[in-house]
């Protein structure tokens, strides 16, 4: 005998999952069966579960902010700066965003 599991998911998630699993040579139903089988085999989630990355912004005092601002102005005057796009890319890579 087989049981049925019904799960509601966002249409976009379903469409993207179906496409991914089709590309991997299977279907979403089989992928869910694989997930459940592996969960039983490892007695838990078959992948690492962890909290989101901590806030990348440190708390600073007003004095520390003004010091950093002055240092950044000095660096800018010396041509030592990065384009905002480069900074955003680096932060995303560092914090997994």
Tell me the pTM. Answer: 0.51
Q: How many CA atoms lie within 13 A of 82 on its CB side?
A: 8
pLDDT of residue 60: 84
14-43 residue pLDDT tens = 999 999 999 999 999 999 999 999 999 999
Question: How many other C-beta atoms lie within 10 A of the C-beta of residue 40?
Answer: 10
Locate 10 and state its tokens.
Answer: 């966002």
38-81 residue pLDDT tens = 999 999 999 988 777 767 677 888 998 999 999 999 998 998 88
């Amino acid at each position: 005998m087989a049981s049925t599991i019904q799960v509601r998911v966002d249409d976009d998630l379903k469409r993207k999952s179906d496409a991914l699993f089709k590309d991997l040579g299977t279907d979403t139903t089989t992928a869910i069966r694989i997930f459940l089988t592996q969960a039983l085999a490892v007695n838990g989630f078959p992948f690492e579960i962890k909290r989101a990355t901590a806030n990348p912004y440190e708390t600073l005092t007003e004095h520390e902010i003004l010091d950093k601002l002055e240092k950044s102005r000095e660096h800018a005057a010396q041509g030592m700066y990065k384009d905002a796009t480069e900074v955003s890319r680096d932060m995303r890579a560092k914090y997994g965003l």
